[in-house]
Amino acid sequence: MRQQATDPFQAIADPSRRAILQMLARDKLTINAVAENFDMSRPAVSKHIKILYTAGFISITETGRERYCSLRQEGFTALQQWMAYFEGFWTEKLNALELHLASAASAKQKKPKDKKHLSSKKKISKR
């Protein structure tokens, strides 16, 4: 029976789990090799591994007596989709701001710069 999936954002919220993902980005590692890089017990590292596994970030394969952890690209899909949504959102907002600033700059350039010239026209028309 497969365990309930862990929310991917909850899984990466912990700095130790993010460090594990970065280590696994370089190469697949045994759980013991991962544990050697942390100042925590092996059972604590195993809990972090389990969370990353249930979130879909890593796979675990058994080779002999060793269990190897490696990254799964599919685990990052939800994060990529979330980031893509907000990248599009901010791109749209910044493009709109750029258009607004460009139109404001062009409107400013169209206005006459010599205010004295305008005021003298008004005086002339009053006579």
Phi-psi region of 64 (alpha: psi -120 to 50; beta: other; left: phi over 0): left
Contact 69, 58 (CB under 8 A): yes
pLDDT at res. 67:
94
Average pLDDT for 82-104: 94
Nearest alpha carbon to residue 69 among 49, 39, 41? 49
Report residue 6's pLDDT band, with 50, 70 and 90 as the boundaries.
confident
pLDDT at 110: 78
What ranges do the domains of the chain cover?
8-71, 74-109
pLDDT above 90 for 16 = yes
pLDDT digits (tens, 9 = 90+) for 29-66: 999 999 999 999 999 999 999 999 999 999 999 999 99
CATH of domain 8-71: 1.10.10.10
Distance CA 125, CA 122 (A): 5
